[in-house]
Amino acid sequence: MSSLSFFPLIPAVTTASAAPVYHGGMIPCLGDVEPVNTRWLIKGYFPMGAVSVVAGPGGVDKGVFMADVVAAITTGRPTMLFPDAAVAQGNVLVLTSEDDPGMSLAPRMIAAEADMRRVFYATPGWYWQQKKKKLVVGASLFELIDELHPALVIIDPLRSFLEGNAAANGDVMRRALDMLQEKALADQFSVVIVSHMVKKAGDDARMLLAGSGELWNAARSVTILGRLPMDESVTYVTQEKLNVGTKARSILFHTQTVGVKNKAGAEVETVRAVLAATTEKHYKELMADKPMPLEPSQQDAKESIMALLKEQGPMAGMDLKKLVMDETGCSKRTVERAHTCLVKEKKIQTKRVRQADGKFKFITSLCAVRAVRRVCGEVA
């Protein structure tokens, strides 16, 4: 049987000069597609009509880097980290459940010299007060996007804007990523998801995204931030995945403390990025001169637990402990002791929650989350 027999309208005989022709008209023909160049938001980093990821562990100035990105897009001018102006200019929508708009977001953006008239933000609490429902990837978010028509949507972190318990259900994240990709492609804007990153990944950049293989697979671009092993005052920004075009040179920057004025004329202290250098090296090469790591401790485990819960929200206890073990290299016993210690210190809490299948699971969250959810009327 010919391999072409499934399509009886296709001639079974081919020649070197003529490919078989299908006249059915239902299946799209690639010959009808016009080749086009990639549309960029910032060339080499963020393509338009696509989902990108910016990942790094806590404390590596992801927010400072993103402030420079926002400045490039809202002004259309070269910035400290991007000497070539952004290809596209427009509004920016920031979804955040962590950074305080007055203490963190606004000061950083002003210091980076963003056009603040083009920067908009939404938090879960603000949306609940407005609509009395949760802001999630889907109709509620797309309503905001349709109103604003942004060039860039920043989501930090994604798990705070997903339906249900995304930590226990990877299908929720996959569906959300598919919806974001379809919406970004249809409306031609860029989505950047800010994500947590593990500290122990060896040479494989794919392992850097903490428990988020879906993010790596769905993203057209993955940018990694971290500290240089031999000089932890310097942050590296390296492109580790790019499905279109050529990877950009890696950026090395440090931060500078500056003061910005609020409307009352008072000075507010913040930081901004200062370019140190660019390099052709990427993650594997930058990690080559890594110094001998110190033996992980219970304090490392405690810091990792707090950082993960802050960035990813409530998590199943077993999932959380596994991520902490992967990130820090601590033993299971050390992680369990750190977890118990944080419970006693009333920094985290564990609650027995019934799942959709009727089974119970222990969910760990920051103590502050419980109070917020009560105010919002949500069930932990």
Residue 19 is predicted with a pLDDT of 55
H/E run at residue 223: strand 221-228
**Statement: the pTM of the whole predicted model exceeds 0.75:** no
Mean pLDDT of the chain, nearest integer: 83
DSSP 8-state secondary structure symbol assigned to residue 298: H
- Residue 321 contacts by C-beta under 8 Å, 6 or more apart in sequence? 332, 335, 336, 339
- Of 29, 110, 28, 133, nearest in space to 376 by CA: 133
How far is residue 285 from each of residues 32, 221, 229, 279, measured CA to CA in Å? 42, 19, 11, 10
Please report, in tens digits, the pLDDT of each residue of the chain (380 residues total).
444 444 444 444 444 445 565 555 678 888 888 888 889 999 889 999 999 999 988 889 999 999 999 999 999 999 999 987 778 899 999 999 878 889 899 999 999 999 999 999 999 999 999 999 999 999 999 999 999 999 999 999 898 899 876 555 678 888 999 999 999 999 999 999 998 876 655 556 666 665 567 888 889 999 999 999 888 899 999 999 998 888 889 999 999 999 999 889 999 999 999 999 999 998 888 888 665 444 567 788 888 888 888 877 788 888 888 888 877 778 887 888 889 888 888 889 988 887 777 777 888 989 864 433 333 333 33
CB-CB contact of 113 with 79 (8 Å): yes
Query: What are the tokens at 171?
Result: 């299908």
Residue 5 is predicted with a pLDDT of 45
- What the chain holds in terms of domains, given with CATH numbers, is 40-286 (3.40.50.300), 298-376 (1.10.10.10)
Residue 246 is predicted with a pLDDT of 85
- Residue 22 contacts by C-beta under 8 Å, 6 or more apart in sequence? 7, 9, 10, 29
